[in-house]
Amino acid sequence: MRRFLTRRTNALSVSALSLVMVFLTSPQAQADREHANGPAPVVTPKSNDGVLSSRVSLGGTGYTGGKGTQPITSSNANWSPPDCWYEAFTPDEFEAVLDERYYAAGNRNAGSVYNYLYGVRSDMTAIKYHRGDDGSWWLLVYNRDLPENTAGSCTLSDGWKWVDAGNPPPPGAITAEQLSQVAYAATKLPARKVTLSPGANNQKVNLATYVKFADALPQVYVTAQVPHPPVAATVVAQPYALHVEAGTSYASPQSCDYVFKRVGNQYNIDTEGSGCNITYRKATAAGGAYTLRAQITWKVHWTATADQNGPVAGPMDDGYTTSEQDVTVQEIQAVNR
């Protein structure tokens, strides 16, 4: 992530205003700062390589992952989650970010940035960071969960904006639809191997191969949300179809497609009696195996689950998980009497 964030930040053509804004305050700077009414409670996001990261929180059955899960692979090869957006901050939180940048610039003798921040802090002190005014500061933040191999595409440039209460959030403010994309990218799905009958190590020539799952698959969900103002979206992925490939040309057919059936709150497939079942026509060589590949297609949709601007629900790109297993095939032995 360190290498990627550095690369992404360098790729952005942003103003000095933006550059000084995308850094995190330190706990020490928070502790040192007091106002006339006593220490101000300050909540700041985590950062990587100095980039101010979003405060999006994630949770759900598809977020924790674990053994036997895979990150979702989108059916759209060109899709990527959003890089950046604006999130709402309090005056105290905004001051914390500026303070940290100011002291950090001084510590590394960054004269021009230090002088610039000195002027900004003076201006903000004069207006008391809008303390007591109805509204919020909106700060430019970056998606901390962006995949490392995803190119940056952030086009926002202003580091911060003040918006009075009653006015709409600024262009580029986080929306439920964006949060759905963040949740989608964070989703992990079950990638279980199919159960074969006859068994994978006991396949027979010219005998149909039936496919099912030893344990039914659940639908999974991931919720992404920000606390202020409350914006949230939940992404749900449901097992929909299974594509099975024999792994050899010595099979007919060489692949089959099936649709999951819902059983209670879970989904499974049993291809016995199906019109398509892989049949191997040639035994594997001694010590050899065919590689059977199974790909699950997941239907995905999202729903806004807290206040937001823009769309409130919609379909998303299908997701994929894949698994492979070795299959050994034997000739059927006949006994002559």
Domain membership flag for residue 24 = yes
Q: Is the pLDDT of residue 315 over 90?
A: yes
Pairing of strands 203-204, 329-330: parallel
| Residue 209 forms part of a structural domain | yes
Q: How many domains does the chain have?
A: 2
**Domain assignment of residue 68, yes or no:** no
**Domain residue limits at 309:** 188-330
Buried b (16+ CB within 10 A) or exposed e, 257-275: ebebeeeeeebbbebeeee
Q: Are residues 125 and 12 in the same domain?
A: yes
73 within a domain of the structure (yes/no) = no
* Distance of alpha carbon 254 from alpha carbon 213, whole angstroms: 20
202 and 168 together in one domain: no
Q: Is residue 170 domain-shared with residue 194, that is, in the same domain? A: no
Least confident of 51-55, 84-88, 223-227: 51-55
What distance lies between CA 269 and its chain's CA centroid? 28
| Same-domain status, 196 and 155 | no
**Mean pLDDT value of segment 308-333:** 90
Amino acid at 172: G
Per-residue pLDDT, 51 = 59
Q: Are 111 and 211 in the same domain?
A: no
Q: Is residue 64 part of a domain?
A: no
Q: How far is CA 159 from the centre of its chain?
A: 24
Residues 122-178: tens digit of each pLDDT? 999 999 999 999 999 999 998 877 765 555 678 888 889 999 999 999 999 999 999
pLDDT per residue over 253-302, tens digit each?
999 999 999 988 899 999 999 999 999 999 999 889 999 999 999 999 99
Supply the mean pLDDT for the chain: 82
Whether 140 and 261 share a structural domain: no
**Residues 274 and 150 grouped into a single domain:** no
Within-domain flag for 70 = no
> Average pLDDT of 80-99?
92
State whether 85 and 32 are in the same domain: yes
- The answer as to whether 336 is a domain residue is no
Specify the pLDDT at position 76.
Answer: 94
pLDDT digits (tens, 9 = 90+) for 43-53: 444 444 445 88
pLDDT at 313: 92
For the ranges 5-14, 155-164, 202-211, 224-233, the one whose mean pLDDT is highest: 202-211
Q: Which two tokens stand for residue 23?
A: 């850094």
SS3 per residue for the chain: CHHHHHHHHHHCCCCHHHHCCCCCCCHHHHHHCEECCEECCCCCCCEECCEEECCCEEECCCCCCCCCEEECEECCCCCCCCCEEEEEECHHHHHHHHHHHHHHHHHCCCHHHHHHHHHHHHHHHHCHHHCCCCEEEEEEEECCCCCCCCCCCCCCCCCEEEEECCCCCCCCECCHHHHHHHHHHHCEEECCCCEEECCCCCEECCCECEEECCCCEECEEEEEEECCCCEEEEEEEEEEEEEEECCCCCECCCEEEEECEEECCEEECECCCCCCCCEECCCCCCCCCEEEEEEEEEEEEEEECCCCCCCCEEEEEEEEEEEEEEECEECCCCCCC
263 and 162 assigned to the same domain? no
Q: 222 and 135: one domain?
A: no
Domain membership flag for residue 179: no
Q: Are residues 296 and 199 in the same domain?
A: yes
Q: Are residues 18 and 126 in the same domain?
A: yes
